[in-house]
């Protein structure tokens, strides 16, 4: 899920929209250059009961999302990838 | 209230003039944690001292000796509130300058011991910056979800070889969390590591904790004037001025604006004398704000419920951006702060919020001034739910 170039709270808003469109157990990977996305994706997972698997900074050059970045985005802005496993409603099968 | 030290005393203590609060009457100022509105005592003493204390306190003529008398009176009054000796107080040009000089001075004196500086992860940015400046090796100790220092980790950190200094705030200016300073001092003292306590947001509003070797404070936080900082250094603390030799009244170069120093001292005395009452009133008002936030869906209030400063609070609203929230509240007449990335020049979220795992976007910081109007706080509590709902609807996130 490419949120590169978006500033807070957009990355989390995009993540929340994407989460509504996917079933429990889906793993979403959020790519973001927003400095707040580290704490905020983690906080959103905590508030919504989803599982934060990991958050890894990736060199911009190796990020597949970087290919979609507009020309204005500097190539050196660090990209953080947050992987989230969606939990379902309590009555749903475990993801 | 005690008579202002050094000024001609009238038969009664100074009565605050009947002036309107700064700005139009409809404004509710709720961002007083770092820079509070001028306290009536500070204003009154500053104006009076301007005529009495403008001269150079190093001069031998009558005017100079008068200024020196007022400066020493200010020094003594501030020392008394902080539990220091008069000669242990140094005035600096700002709180940041006091923090930098405190930290760099200990590093200079203890350079043979090492360059490690142990600090909590939620210190004021001036502490974080000075502790990583030049050769200094910063060691950040984690805090819990309320922002309280991890004492065992602190103990281990200060005991490590090469530790020159430890820094711990008396309370956190965003969360209000009171830090375990006495317990931290009990860990650093046996290993001869000096403890610098940054008392910036708490001074005047909360008792000065024991156990510090250096103390820093900001007069603006208690309603005193800007252009001044306070650095207290206990006698016997290893500290070498990080600045070149100079001929001034302080342990650091630069002349002290005497009228401002006296206004800061008188104001600190006034606020401290009323500390219990101001605590009771403002603690209850902050509780009202915390309850009002808790009733709004998808919001988080941070910091401990009880062991906290009486006048500060911070909360975050999911899916809102801090800048819009602050501007909308401003348009309604409420002045608040924010720790959200979009409201800062650097574009980085508050390191304090990040350290406790808090949501950083949609963040509002509250600091109640000493002269807070309860009606204003009630109006804020009443306006917030509708405002958050409206912004969420406008963003199209109310269904998320």
| Phi and psi angles of residue A62, each rounded to the nearest 5 degrees, phi first | -90, -5
Element containing residue B62 per DSSP (H, E): helix B62-82
| Chain A residues within an 8 Å CB radius of B341 | 7-8, 34-36
In angstroms, rounded to a whole number, what is the distance separating the alpha carbons of residues B344 and B337? 10
Q: Lowest-confidence range among B22-31, B87-96, B178-187, B229-238?
A: B22-31
DSSP one-letter string for A31-76 = EE--TTHHHHHHHHHHHHT-EEEEEEEE-GGG-GGGGG--TTS-TT
Predicted pLDDT of residue A46 = 93
- The per-residue pLDDT for range B349-372, each reduced to its tens digit, is 999 999 999 999 999 999 999 999
In angstroms, rounded to a whole number, what is the distance separating the alpha carbons of residues B219 and B389? 38
Element containing residue B78 per DSSP (H, E): helix B62-82
For residue B360, the chain A residue with the least C-alpha distance is: A40
Domain boundaries, chain A: 10-85
- Within chain B, all domains assigned CATH 3.40.640.10 are found at 51-272
Predicted pLDDT of residue B119 = 98
Check pLDDT > 50 for residue A70.
no
Average pLDDT over residues A13-25: 92
Collapse the DSSP code of A25 into the 3-class scheme (helix H, G, I; strand E, B; otherwise coil) and give the result: coil
Contact at CB, B349 and A8, closer than 8 angstroms = yes
Supply the mean pLDDT for chain A.
79
Looking at CA atoms only, how far is residue A35 from chain B in angstroms?
6
**CB-CB contact of B233 with B213 (8 Å):** yes
Check pLDDT > 60 for residue B381.
yes
**CB-CB contact of B205 with B279 (8 Å):** yes
Q: Which CATH architecture has domain B51-272?
A: 3-Layer(aba) Sandwich (3.40)
**Considering the entire predicted model, what is its pTM?**
0.90
In angstroms, rounded to a whole number, what is the distance separating the alpha carbons of residues B296 and B170? 31
DSSP one-letter string for B166-197 = EEEESB-TTT-BBP-HHHHHHHHGGGT--EEE
In total, the C-beta contacts within 8 angstroms joining chain A to chain B are 66
Handedness of CA B180, B182, B187, B191 (dihedral sign): positive
pLDDT band at B1 (very low <50, low <70, confident <90, very high): very low
In angstroms, rounded to a whole number, what is the distance separating the alpha carbons of residues B343 and B335? 14
pLDDT band at B198 (very low <50, low <70, confident <90, very high): very high
In angstroms, rounded to a whole number, what is the distance separating the alpha carbons of residues A75 and A23? 34
Rounded to the nearest 10 degrees, how much is the dihedral formed by the CA atoms of B212, B41, B28, B342? -40
Supply the mean pLDDT for chain B.
94
For residue A21, the chain B residue with the least C-alpha distance is: B400
Active-site residue flag, A8: yes
- The per-residue pLDDT for range B223-280, each reduced to its tens digit, is 999 999 999 999 999 999 999 999 899 999 999 999 999 999 999 999 999 999 999 9
Check pLDDT > 60 for residue A42.
yes
The tally of CA atoms less than 13 A away on the side-chain side of residue A47 is 22
**CB-CB contact of B201 with B208 (8 Å):** no
Check pLDDT > 70 for residue B16.
no
| Chain B residues within an 8 Å CB radius of A36 | 340-341, 348-349, 360-361
Q: Is B275-395 a CATH 3.90.1150.10 domain? A: yes
Ranges assigned E (strand) in chain B: 28-29, 89-92, 116-120, 137-141, 163-169, 195-198, 214-217, 229-233, 299-302, 312-317, 334-335, 363-367
Q: Using alpha carbons, list the distances in angstroms from residue B377 to B202, B352, B372.
A: 21, 25, 8
In angstroms, rounded to a whole number, what is the distance separating the alpha carbons of residues B184 and A47? 33
- Identify from A14, A18, A37, A40 which residue to disrupt to test chain B contact, counting B C-beta atoms within 10 A and taking the largest count: A40
Contact at CB, A36 and B357, closer than 8 angstroms = no
Handedness of CA B73, B78, B83, B87 (dihedral sign): negative
Average pLDDT over residues B271-296: 97
Nearest-Å Rg of the Cα atoms of chain A is 13
**What CATH number is given for A10-85 in this structure?**
3.30.110.40
Predicted pLDDT of residue B292 = 97
- The per-residue pLDDT for range B111-167, each reduced to its tens digit, is 999 999 999 999 999 999 999 999 999 999 999 999 999 999 999 999 999 999 999
Q: What is the ipTM of this complex?
A: 0.82
């Amino acid at each position: 899920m490419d949120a590169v170039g978006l500033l807070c709270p957009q990355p989390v808003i995009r993540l929340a929209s994407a989460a509504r469109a996917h079933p429990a157990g889906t793993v979403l990977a959020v790519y973001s250059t927003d400095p707040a996305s580290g704490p905020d994706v983690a906080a959103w997972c905590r508030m919504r009961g989803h599982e934060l698997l990991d958050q890894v900074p990736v060199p911009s050059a190796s990020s597949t999302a970087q290919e979609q970045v507009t020309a204005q985005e500097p190539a050196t802005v660090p990209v953080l990838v947050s992987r989230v496993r969606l939990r379902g409603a309590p009555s749903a099968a475990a993801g | 209230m005690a008579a202002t030290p050094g000024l001609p005393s009238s038969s009664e203590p100074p009565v605050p003039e009947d002036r309107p609060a700064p700005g139009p009457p409809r404004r509710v100022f709720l961002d007083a944690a770092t820079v509070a509105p001028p306290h009536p005592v500070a204003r009154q003493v500053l104006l009076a001292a301007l005529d009495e204390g403008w001269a150079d306190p190093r001069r031998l003529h009558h005017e100079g000796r008068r200024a020196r008398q007022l400066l020493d009176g200010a020094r003594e009054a501030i020392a008394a509130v902080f539990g220091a000796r008069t000669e242990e107080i140094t005035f600096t040009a700002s709180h940041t300058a006091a923090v930098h000089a405190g930290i760099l001075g200990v590093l200079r004196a203890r350079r043979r011991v090492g360059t490690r500086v142990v600090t909590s992860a939620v210190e004021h940015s001036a502490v974080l910056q000075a502790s990583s400046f030049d050769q200094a090796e910063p060691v950040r100790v984690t805090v819990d979800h309320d922002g309280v220092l991890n004492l065992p980790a602190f103990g281990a950190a200060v005991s490590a070889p090469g530790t020159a200094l430890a820094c711990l705030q008396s309370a956190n200016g965003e969360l209000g969390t009171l830090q375990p300073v006495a317990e931290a001092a009990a860990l650093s003292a046996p290993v001869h590591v000096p403890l610098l306590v940054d008392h910036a947001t708490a001074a005047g509003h909360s008792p000065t904790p024991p156990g510090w070797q250096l103390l820093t404070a900001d007069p603006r936080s208690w309603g005193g004037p800007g252009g001044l900082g306070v650095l207290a250094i206990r006698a016997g603390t290893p500290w070498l001025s990080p600045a070149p030799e100079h001929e001034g009244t302080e342990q650091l170069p630069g002349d002290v604006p005497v009228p401002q120093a006296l206004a800061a001292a008188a104001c600190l005395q006034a606020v401290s004398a009323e500390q219990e009452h101001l605590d009771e009133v403002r603690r209850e008002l902050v509780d009202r704000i915390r309850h009002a936030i808790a009733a709004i869906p998808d919001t988080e209030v941070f910091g401990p419920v009880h062991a906290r400063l009486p006048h500060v609070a911070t909360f975050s609203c999911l899916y809102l951006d801090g800048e819009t929230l602050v501007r909308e509240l401003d348009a309604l007449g409420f002045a608040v702060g924010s720790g959200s990335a979009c409201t800062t020049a650097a574009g980085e979220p508050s390191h304090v919020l990040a350290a406790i795992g808090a949501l950083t976007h949609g963040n509002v910081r509250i600091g109640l001034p000493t002269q807070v109007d309860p009606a204003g706080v009630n109006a804020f509590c009443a306006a917030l739910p509708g405002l958050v709902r409206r912004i969420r609807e406008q963003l199209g996130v109310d269904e998320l």
